[in-house]
Structure 1
Amino acid sequence: MTLANLLRPDAGLRVLVTAGAGGIGRRIVEGYREVGARIAVCDVSEETLAAFRNEVPDALAVNCDVADREAVADMVHQAREALGGLDVVVNNAGIAGPTGAVEDLDPVEWERTIRTDLDSQFYVAHETARDLKESRGSLINIASVAGRLGYAYRTPYASAKWGIIGFTKSLAAEMGPDGVRVNAILPGIVEGERIRGVISARAQALGVSYEEMEKRYLANVSLRRMVSADDVATTCLFLTSPGGANISGQAISVCGNVEVLM
């Protein structure tokens, strides 16, 4: 096998991507489809799913709120039945959560963020672990640079993402003897609608303009630029290629080197 081929995932992989019908998840799906993978996705938005089904009719697309443990169990069952097993699971679903000082945060919003961003990753791993052990497959948990840096006014989100890192490293040690690789990807400031919302909320919280807040964000990135969904997708592809066969238990930042989060 040539070195170039080592960077290409095997054809025919059976891939499940949560929140895979839009955004970063959709680009991850598109990357795997380009190398011949068979795909199952879930999403909480029926509108997003409808568009996905229209454009990708050969994939399974299930409506699922990943914060609902029983819904996750049913979704994974459908994916398993449709694909005949699972080789790759990408825990991509998550929400931004609230922005505000800790004394002002609504505890309901805290709980919702932890359920959606952290508990959901456990639910998916719990339901897919036997499949991945059988296929000696790969679990990729999407975290954030907020999982390695302090993030003032975003404590629910940061707490969940730090939790994902510990969950990932612990699972890698637990499942490694069964041949399962577990890694986390830590995107930085990913261009798109979500980060525009985050920057707007932070600007409002600090009483500055959107433009000023965006400038402050990028000043703390060594490369002075945002990353793209493609950057995250190609990292997923590498981790599940033959070239990534001995990478496990890692928290891989795809961020242009974010130095500080504001």
Structure 2
Amino acid sequence: MKRVLITAGASGIGRAMAEGFADEGYEVWVTDVDAAALKACPDAWVCHQADAVDETQMAGVFAQMDGLDVLCANAGIAGPTARVEDVALSDWRACVSVNLEGAFLASKYAAPMMKAAEAGSIVLVSSTAGLFGYPNRAPYSAAKWAVIGLMKTLAMELGPYGIRANAICPGSVEGPRMEGVLAREAAAKGMTRDQVYNGYASGTSMRSFVEARDIADMAVFLASPKARRVSGQVIAVDGHTENPDPKVG
């Protein structure tokens, strides 16, 4: 049975990924900091409460595995919504740490296991914020751009061992995290939540947000034999974001 490890896999995009891989017959391993969300996961999943940026905790999870076919480095936080001059250094560091260092640590410990098998698929979750500049989201955008650079390096470094690396760039995803972003941005700009929502949606050719399952479907595809020659790629799942948030601000 193939095995997948998903960081921040107990809710949101990570939970959708876990469900998608489970449907494909994978043995699902999940890490998350949210103990309550982990308890709500199916009994068949191997769940660990671990902070994606705590190297001791993450190393401990990987030490319990005797093989890994797919890594989905999904841990991330939205970070502050503020003008760059108003962003506290502590908030910058926290955002960059979770979004970038979390992907790095998971990849660091997955690589030796995949090298030993001479096969594997690494999927890093970036964002359309890693493709465009986003006003009032400097820490998040910077971190997500860096995730793409990490992925490109992994693809080149690990490719000779039969390991593929790709990045998924979700657009605006329906769910609690995006609702928090909408609320903070609305407050900062003196707008309503719906005005901000419509601004984001109107920046896509499909005029809509995406759902977590859309991201999960892409992750499952990238891990499949049908994507056996897909590596080093940045794939947006966003309904085509041409110009992010054009009507807001």
Instruction: Look up the match of 2:34.
Output: 45
Distance in structure 1 (CA, Å) of the matches to 2:221 and 2:184: 34
* Amino acid in the other structure paired with 2:5: L
* Amino acid in the other structure paired with 2:44: D
| C-alpha deviation, 1:199, in angstroms | 1.0
Distance in structure 2 (CA, Å) of the matches to 1:207 and 1:247: 44
Identical aligned pairs, as a percentage? 40
Distance in structure 2 (CA, Å) of the matches to 1:129 and 1:62: 20
* Amino acid in the other structure paired with 1:101: R
Q: Does the alignment pair 1:94 with 2:76?
A: yes
| C-alpha deviation, 1:260, in angstroms | 2.3
Question: Is this contact kept in 1: 2:204–2:244, CA < 8 A?
Answer: no
Instruction: Look up the match of 1:9.
Output: none
Deviations 1:167-187 (A, max 9, x none): 101110110011000000000
Distance in structure 2 (CA, Å) of the matches to 1:205 and 1:132: 45
TM-score, length of structure 2 as denominator length: 0.96
* DSSP-derived class of the 1:98 partner: coil
Distance in structure 1 (CA, Å) of the matches to 2:19 and 2:234: 23
Instruction: Look up the match of 2:104.
Output: 122
Instruction: Look up the match of 1:251.
Output: 234
- Stretches of structure 2 that go unaligned for 5 or more consecutive residues are none
Instruction: Look up the match of 2:46.
Output: 60
* Amino acid in the other structure paired with 2:116: E
Instruction: Look up the match of 2:58.
Output: 72
- Runs (4+) of structure 1 moved beyond 4 Å? none
Distance in structure 1 (CA, Å) of the matches to 2:194 and 2:44: 42
Structure 1 residues 188-227: aligned runs within 5 Å: 188-227=171-210
| C-alpha deviation, 1:58, in angstroms | 2.0
Distance in structure 1 (CA, Å) of the matches to 2:189 and 2:63: 45
Structure 1 residues 151-190: aligned runs within 5 Å: 151-190=134-173
Aligned partner of 2:5 among 5, 16, 20: 16
Instruction: Look up the match of 1:5.
Output: none
Question: Is this contact kept in 2: 1:69–1:120, CA < 8 A?
Answer: no
Question: Is this contact kept in 2: 1:217–1:261, CA < 8 A?
Answer: yes
Deviations 1:16-74 (A, max 9, x none): 0001111111111111111111011000011111111xxx1122100111121222111
* DSSP-derived class of the 1:182 partner: strand
Question: Is this contact kept in 1: 2:122–2:163, CA < 8 A?
Answer: yes
Distance in structure 2 (CA, Å) of the matches to 1:95 and 1:76: 23
* Amino acid in the other structure paired with 1:239: L
TM-score, length of structure 1 as denominator length: 0.91
Distance in structure 2 (CA, Å) of the matches to 1:67 and 1:97: 15
Deviations 1:200-251 (A, max 9, x none): 1111111111111111111111110111111111101111111100000000
* Amino acid in the other structure paired with 2:121: S
Distance in structure 1 (CA, Å) of the matches to 2:107 and 2:78: 21
- Stretches of structure 1 that go unaligned for 5 or more consecutive residues are 1-11
Distance in structure 2 (CA, Å) of the matches to 1:252 and 1:113: 22
* DSSP-derived class of the 1:133 partner: helix
Answer with 192-201 or 86-95: which moved more.
192-201
Aligned partner of 1:234 among 217, 224, 232: 217
Distance in structure 1 (CA, Å) of the matches to 2:18 and 2:198: 31
Instruction: Look up the match of 2:120.
Output: 137
* Amino acid in the other structure paired with 2:168: I
Answer with 130-139 or 158-167: which moved more.
130-139
Distance in structure 2 (CA, Å) of the matches to 1:143 and 1:163: 9
